[in-house]
Amino acid sequence: MPIEMSLTDEHEELRATLRAFLNECSDEATVREQMSTERGYDPDVWTQMAEQMGLAGLIIPEEFGGAGYGYVELLVVMEEMGRALLCSPYLSTAVLAANALMHCADEKSQKELLTEIAAGRMVAAVAHAEPNGRWDIEGLEMTATRSGDQWTLSGEKTWVLDGGSAQVILVLARTDSGLSLFRVDPEAPGLRREAVPPLDLTRKISQLHFEDAPAELISAGDQSANFERVLALTTAALSAEQMGGAQWCLETAVEYAKTRLQFGRPIGSYQAIKHKCADMLVETEFARSAAYAACFAAAEQEDDFLEMADLAQSACSEAFFHAAAETIQIHGGMGFTWELPVHLYFKRAKASDLLFGDAAQHRESLANRVGL
Amino acid sequence: MPEPTPMDEETLRARVRKLLEEAHPETTDSISFRQKQYEHGLAWVHFPEGYGGLGLSPKMNMIVFDEISKHSKVIHTTPPASVIGIGMGAPVVLTYGTEEMKKTLLPKIFSGEEVWCQLFSEPGAGSDVAGLSSLAIRDGDEWIVNGQKVWTTVAHLSRWGMLLTRTDPDAPKHDGLSYFLLDMKAPGVEVRPLYQITGEAEFNEVFLNDVRIPHARMLGQEGQGWRVAITTLMNERVAIGGGGSKRKGGGATGQLLDVWRQRKKGAHSPAQEAMLRDRVTRSYMDNELLRLTAQRARASQKAGNPGPEGSVAKLAQAEINKRMWETAIDIMGSDALAFEAGYALRQTAGAPDSVEGIAKYQFLRSRANSIEGGTSEIMRNILGERVLGLPGEPRIDKEVPWKDVPRS
Ligand SMILES: Cc1cc2nc3c(=O)[nH]c(=O)nc-3n(C[C@H](O)[C@H](O)[C@H](O)COP(=O)(O)OP(=O)(O)OC[C@H]3O[C@@H](n4cnc5c(N)ncnc54)[C@H](O)[C@@H]3O)c2cc1C
Ligand SMILES: Cc1cc2nc3c(=O)[nH]c(=O)nc-3n(C[C@H](O)[C@H](O)[C@H](O)COP(=O)(O)OP(=O)(O)OC[C@H]3O[C@@H](n4cnc5c(N)ncnc54)[C@H](O)[C@@H]3O)c2cc1C
């Protein structure tokens, strides 16, 4: 029998608590304020999320100070954050870095870093992509250099989420034992961090230049398979965030279509608009199914998890982007303005699609996995 | 440990095994087996006890299917001609029928002994089925019906018809309709095949000339036929938008994958191959999304008749299915110039036997998916208005007597 994908009352309570919190800490004015800062988020809110709500360590095991929850809880959290367009290092730190540490790092580093992350004292960035533009594991080319017990890194890492504000940088690089995870101090000599002006202002990205930068090896053995899983876990969580964004667009577009009158009628009474909304509803419902499937498969450690993560990335990326694009269109001239927040979702949608390899790449990966 | 409820999953499975001891699909014909399945309350477990069910949640039906498949290579699934009776006739009888109708009609609907058809659409009333013009006039304890129905699937095989007809032309259109059970063998019922783009005739024209129906066969009150019709249509959407295949890469998707894997190597350039592969992957995904959405809907579905959410699956499935078979044809390329089955007009076409034959047939048949059971445009209107709450269009046909509404 297939796993039953339904949320419990506790999950709905978590959602309600989170929505109330985000209504306060991630209203439109706050989002606009935070996105115009260099850091891109409010450190006080980050601490509050960690200390009062246990969100930073949501999926981190209790032995490392986390809440020890699973991917179903994360699904709810990411959906709400996506809806509220929260500006936060949540994806980089609580999802990507936490997973990288949990799946690739040695115990000592896990203890040290996961504890700090869960406590809200540390923002962590993972540096993996490189200027070659590839997102697959084989595309990782940076090779670490060893002299004695010391490791150094040289080369470029691109599109590093929150690379500018992180207190620790986790770098993927090759060694004799295969793909390895390194810990680098952001202030290390030989590391230059350059902020990239982002398409999506709500998530900050950096380019990192390494020139014989000292690094600490914190993994043992080849991490290719583990890191592939880390990326899939990250896109699964991201897909829930995208689905939440799509849901916001749908609701916003429908609300506008009910209240905007042209030619003496609400524009939502014209089928050209009504049918767009209906199609958005179908796509959003499908995106929800995909995000659920991926996150439930992650939670239950199902065999088909990697496949479901590919499916969710592709379905949710396209649904979110399409919903945001249609929401602009339904708002007419207003949709094209800076004043309305729709463009922020539109940009978030495209950036989220491109962040870990786009929808077409994930479909290709899916095709490979199921043998098409 | 708390006591398990009287009908938890394991108890239900045990009940299925008990049925299999009495009658096994491998040694029993479909009708006899399904009769027994009904007696055991395992026909549709979400129906009440005594009517082929056990009063359980609809999602428990999967468990019955699952348990039977565990113990039998043969599965007596819904006979093709009974889809309408089981999907729409049974819920309508259960909701609106008399005790006697439930007792006599439901077992035969499920077993496949009696086929049902849906007599709604007329030449002048398709999407706007509430605007239909066939007319029933009261004559003592009977009604006399005249008019024409069209697109009536399996009418030629049917024992009973779900007839929606006008009983009051002076009332606004929705208020002047009544719903009857029509004996398809009654004098004055004439069924003529209607050929479709595949060359076969699943559907028919049905002419009603002075057909007499006992008043006792009216379902719901006089003038309330529209409400009964809505129950039928909501169930139809769920029956049609059934949520894709039950398992990964199964059903129609499996057939598309077969076409893809058996493609002629070298017929397409590498660039074309890459594009086709992406389309195949999209179809695979679409079907997964349908399956997962149906699974999610089942998990949250309460007992009772489905709501407008059924339109999500109906709309999606229609468009997905058409796209999928278009992809299959494009994979075959110029080999699809031939249509081996031919178009000899006949009542039922033999099932095509090759992967390519199925795809070519489905390429044509799937065009109906976005028309039958309500067009995709109508589904979008329903989703927009009933689920999202968008305003309807200004109407010129709602408050006025039906007889004053313009018609083509
Ligand atoms: C870049 C830009 C430059 C512009 N420059 C000028 C300019 O120089 N001078 C000027 O006067 N104006 C200008 N405009 C305004 C432009 O003409 C209007 O934005 C446009 O006509 C749409 O009107 P609206 O924004 O009020 O949207 P609305 O009319 O409110 O439309 C909202 C949505 O409803 C849809 N809709 C509305 N009515 C119907 C219907 N009957 N059937 C189906 N759908 C419907 C629309 O297609 C749209 O998707 C400009 C707009 C932009 C974006
Ligand atoms: C294979 C098949 C089997 C069928 N089986 C049965 C059956 O067993 N019993 C039965 O009763 N019927 C049956 N039907 C009929 C089916 O329900 C109708 O064909 C359908 O409801 C459309 O009606 P129509 O064909 O009259 O098209 P019309 O209603 O005339 O529609 C023509 C076009 O106009 C569009 N349109 C109409 N109204 C609107 C609107 N308000 N807004 C936007 N667009 C609109 C439609 O979407 C369509 O594209 C079957 C049809 C098919 C194809």
- Same domain, residue pair B202 and B258: no
Better-predicted residue by pLDDT, A103 or B234: A103
**Ligand 1 atom at minimum distance from A256 CA:** 32
Share of chain A above pLDDT 90, in %: 97
What is the rounded distance in angstroms from the CA atom of residue A280 to the CA atom of residue B15?
Answer: 43
In this structure, are B247 and B268 located in the same domain? Answer: yes
pLDDT (mean) for B303-321:
77
- Least trusted range by pLDDT, from A147-151, B156-160, B298-302: B298-302
B346 phi, psi to nearest 5 deg: -155, 165
- Probe residue for ligand 1, chosen from A267, A280, A337 as the CB with the greatest number of ligand atoms within 8 Å: A267
What is the average pLDDT across B235-253?
68
The rounded distance, in Å, linking the Cα atoms of A80 and A86 is 9
Residue A263 beta carbon below 6 angstroms from any ligand 1 atom: yes
Helices A71-84 and A9-25: crossing angle, nearest 10°?
A: 30
* Residue B3: pLDDT over 60: no
d(CA B186, CA B64): 37
B308 and B164, same domain (yes or no):
no
Find out whether B308 and B234 touch, Cβ atoms under 8 Å. yes
Structural domain boundaries enclosing A43: 9-119
What was the pLDDT predicted at B231? 85
Query: What is the Cα–Cα distance from A231 to A159, expressed in whole angstroms?
Result: 14
Q: Please give the distance, rounded to the nearest whole angstrom, from the Cα atom of residue A333 to the centre of ligand 1.
A: 5
What number is the average pLDDT over the span B96-104? 96
CATH code, domain carrying A76: 1.10.540.10
Q: Are residues A113 and A143 in the same domain?
A: no
Please check whether residues B268 and B343 belong to one and the same domain. yes
**What average pLDDT score do residues A315-322 get?**
98
Say whether both B138 and B64 belong to one domain.
no
Q: Max CA-CA distance within chain A?
A: 79
Q: B103 in a domain, yes or no?
A: no
- Which pLDDT does position A3 carry in this prediction? 62
Among residues B189, B224, B259, which one ends one of the domains?
B224
CB contact under 8 A, A277 and B293: no
| pLDDT over 70 (residue B301) | no
Helices (H), chain A: 9-25, 28-35, 43-51, 71-84, 98-104, 107-109, 115-118, 224-259, 271-299, 305-330, 332-335, 342-354, 359-370
- Among A97, A119, A141, residue at a domain's last position: A119
Contacts A317 to B, Cβ<8 Å = none
Give the pLDDT score at B1.
40
Question: Do B251 and B211 share a structural domain?
Answer: no
Residue B294, pLDDT above cutoff 90: no
Write down the catalytic residue from B67, B114, B236, B356: B236
Q: Does A259 contact ligand 1 (Cβ within 6 A)? A: no
How far is the centre of ligand 1, averaged over its atoms, from the C-alpha of A268 (Å)? 15
B367 and B270 housed in the same domain = yes
The model's pLDDT over A279-306, given as tens digits with 9 standing for 90+, comes to 999 999 999 999 999 999 999 999 999 9
Residue with tokens 């540096």: A127
Q: Please check whether residue B303 lies inside any domain of the structure.
A: yes
Residue B70 pLDDT > 60: yes
Whether residue A229 is found in the same domain as residue A218: no
User: What pLDDT is attached to residue B344?
Assistant: 85
Please check whether residues A304 and A360 belong to one and the same domain.
yes
pLDDT digits (tens, 9 = 90+) for B364-383: 999 999 999 899 999 999 99
Tell me if residue B319 is catalytic.
no
For all residues of chain A together, what is the average pLDDT?
96
> How far is the first Cα of chain B from the last one, in angstroms, to the nearest whole number?
68
Q: Which of A17-26, A92-101, A203-212, B69-78 has the lowest mean pLDDT?
A: B69-78
The answer on pLDDT for A179 being more than 90 is yes
DSSP A70-115: -HHHHHHHHHHHHHHT--STIIIIIIIIHHHHHHHS-HHHIIIIIH
**pLDDT band at residue A1 under the 50/70/90 scheme:** very low
CA of B390 to the centre of ligand 1 (A): 20
How far, in whole angstroms, is CA A181 from its chain's centroid?
A: 20
Report residue B316 as tokens: 């999606």
Residues A217 and A231 in one domain: no
Regarding the beta carbon of A262 and ligand 1, being less than 6 Å apart is answered yes
Which residues of chain A are within 8 Å of residue B288 when distances are taken between CB atoms?
293, 311
In a domain, A3, yes or no: no
Q: Is residue B288 domain-resident?
A: yes
